[in-house]
Structure 1
């Protein structure tokens, strides 16, 4: 696999994490370097970990994983999105800074990296050198997620509750898109 092909895969895999990072940036009142680092580490770390796991799972579990990944992502993103909408409607500002805690970030990191698990399985079939591949994916996602938090925060400072509502809707739509693509409804 060429470096260019790996770059395209890395950017493609990181787009969900980038979009979610923008949403997370919307919910942070005062952006601190730790927020950028947290988003980058969660999303970049899981985008590196999942293809590694997929690589080791290989052929024996391929049909099991690919048959359920879209449902898992749909449910996780939907629940998180509905929660963001509920918080925006309730004006629940005391929980905004908690949006970067483990309870919020872990399900998002898992949901946005499930497709990377399938990519890891593909890497096993293609006999890709896994260490450089997952490192490249992780670093790319880290950088894009960190930028996404900053972009979301700049936007969110102007629109606050409406931005949180929008972020929740985006997450729900992302989950729906993943589901519909895997069901063959969207091309």
Structure 2
């Protein structure tokens, strides 16, 4: 795989994480650059690990992973998005202040949900002349960059849409999940 293709692959793998990061950033109370970098690092590490795991699974598990990856991602993202929408629709007396950061586990689950397609890509990379470690590092770095930018963009969106930013974030996550499902089902 040539370096240009690797760069395009890395950024293609990070687009759904970017969209999710916009939602995550919009649901926080004015996230700072350090929180955006933390979010980017969590997403980047998980996005770098999943193609390696897929690569290790190889051809034996490729049919199973390819048949279910879109359903797993869809379910996780819709569930997380619905939770965010529910939290955004709470009555004012129930409404809590926006958090200044998301928990590690919420970020990790979201990152995993947006990186399941990278698992399937990793399986495919097992049959291509590519250094999986370089590919995984490129994917992780691209994702870290895109998620950091997405979180900060979400900050700007959060101030525009006010207290209902969590609803926007939840809808974005559900749309990412629906898009992943649609792309896989329409390609079949």
Task: Choose which of 167, 173, 180 in structure 1 pairs with 2:175.
Answer: 173
2:33 paired residue number: 33
| Residues in 2 aligned to 1:102 and 1:34: alpha-carbon distance in whole angstroms | 14
3-state DSSP of counterpart to 2:127: helix
* Superposition TM-score, scaled by structure 1 size: 0.93
Task: Choose which of 95, 101, 104 in structure 1 pairs with 2:103.
Answer: 101
2:161 paired residue number: 159
| Residues in 1 aligned to 2:47 and 2:76: alpha-carbon distance in whole angstroms | 16
| Residues in 1 aligned to 2:7 and 2:84: alpha-carbon distance in whole angstroms | 32
Q: How far off is 1:172 after superposition?
A: 1.1
Task: Choose which of 133, 139, 142 in structure 2 pairs with 1:140.
Answer: 142
2:117 paired residue number: 115
Runs of at least 5 residues in structure 2 that lack an aligned partner in the other structure: none
- The answer on whether the counterparts of 1:26 and 1:160 sit within 8 Å (CA) in structure 2 is no
| Residues in 1 aligned to 2:167 and 2:52: alpha-carbon distance in whole angstroms | 34
- Count of residues paired in the alignment: 185
Q: How far off is 1:99 after superposition?
A: 5.5
| Residues in 2 aligned to 1:119 and 1:45: alpha-carbon distance in whole angstroms | 16
2:50 paired residue number: 50
Change (3 A) 1:45 1:7: same
* Superposition TM-score, scaled by structure 2 size: 0.92
- The answer on whether the counterparts of 2:58 and 2:123 sit within 8 Å (CA) in structure 1 is yes
Q: How far off is 1:103 after superposition?
A: 3.0
Stretches (4+) displaced over 4 A: none
| Residues in 2 aligned to 1:99 and 1:182: alpha-carbon distance in whole angstroms | 32
Q: How far off is 1:114 after superposition?
A: 0.3
- The answer on whether the counterparts of 1:58 and 1:121 sit within 8 Å (CA) in structure 2 is yes
Report the structure, 1 or 2, having the larger helix content: 1
Runs of at least 5 residues in structure 1 that lack an aligned partner in the other structure: none
| Residues in 1 aligned to 2:35 and 2:134: alpha-carbon distance in whole angstroms | 27
Q: How far off is 1:98 after superposition?
A: 6.7
| Residues in 2 aligned to 1:157 and 1:10: alpha-carbon distance in whole angstroms | 30
